[in-house]
C-alpha cells in the first residue's frame, strides 16, 4: 500500500510540474504577444489581431492540458472563445453581441462540465475523461 501512495505522490508532482510549465509558457506567450504588438506600427496588422491571438493562446493551453490530464479549465476556455469571437468581430468591423455570446458559452460549458459528486471530481475516477472548472 505504501508503494501505491508513493506512485500517486509522484504522479501528482508530475502534474503540478506540468501545470507550472504550462502557466509559465502561457504568461510568456501573452507577454511576448503584447510587447510585439506594441512594436508593430499602427495599421500594419488587421484589427482584432491581438484578441484573436490571445484567444488562440488560451484555447491552445487548454488543448495541451486536456491532452495530458484529460481536464480543461472552463474559465480560460470561455475567455479564449470570447477573445477569438471579439477579434473576428473587430476584423470584419462587426459589433458582436458579446453579452449574449457570453451567456451562451457559459450555458454550453455548464452542460459539458460534469458536477462534482461526493467530493470527487470525475478526474478522480479511474479511466474517466472529463472537464472541470
Does residue 8 have a pLDDT over 90?
no
Q: Is residue 130 part of a domain?
A: no
Please report, in angstroms and rounded to a whole number, the separation of the first and last CA atoms in the chain.
Answer: 31
| Domains: count for the chain | 1
In this prediction, residues 13-31 reach a mean pLDDT of 86
What is the pLDDT at residue 55?
Answer: 95
What is the pLDDT at residue 68?
Answer: 83
- Counting residues of the chain whose pLDDT is more than 70, the rounded percentage is 75
Q: Is residue 129 part of a domain?
A: no
Q: Is residue 12 part of a domain?
A: yes
Q: Is residue 64 part of a domain?
A: yes
- With beta carbons less than 8 A apart as the criterion, state whether 119 and 59 touch: no
Q: Is residue 16 part of a domain?
A: yes
Residue 88 domain boundaries:
2-124
Mark 94-106 as b/e (b = at least 16 C-beta within 10 Å).
Answer: eeeeeeebeeebe
Q: Is residue 132 part of a domain?
A: no
* Displacement of CA 55 from its chain's centroid (Å): 9
Q: Is residue 103 part of a domain?
A: yes
Model confidence band, residue 10 (pLDDT cutoffs 50, 70, 90) = low
Q: Is residue 133 part of a domain?
A: no
Amino acid at each position: 500500500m505504501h508503494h501505491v501512495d508513493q506512485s500517486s505522490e509522484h504522479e501528482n508532482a508530475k502534474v503540478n510540474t506540468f501545470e507550472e510549465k504550462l502557466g509559465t509558457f502561457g504568461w510568456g506567450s501573452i507577454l511576448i504577444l503584447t510587447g510585439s504588438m506594441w512594436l508593430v506600427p499602427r495599421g500594419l496588422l488587421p484589427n482584432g489581431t491581438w484578441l484573436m491571438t490571445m484567444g488562440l493562446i488560451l484555447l491552445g493551453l487548454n488543448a495541451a492540458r486536456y491532452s495530458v490530464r484529460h481536464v480543461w479549465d472552463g474559465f480560460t476556455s470561455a475567455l479564449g472563445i470570447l477573445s477569438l469571437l471579439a477579434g473576428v468581430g473587430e476584423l470584419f468591423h462587426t459589433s458582436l453581441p458579446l453579452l449574449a455570446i457570453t451567456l451562451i458559452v457559459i450555458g454550453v460549458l455548464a452542460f459539458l462540465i460534469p458536477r462534482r459528486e461526493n467530493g470527487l471530481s470525475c478526474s478522480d475516477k479511474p479511466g474517466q475523461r472529463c472537464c472541470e472548472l
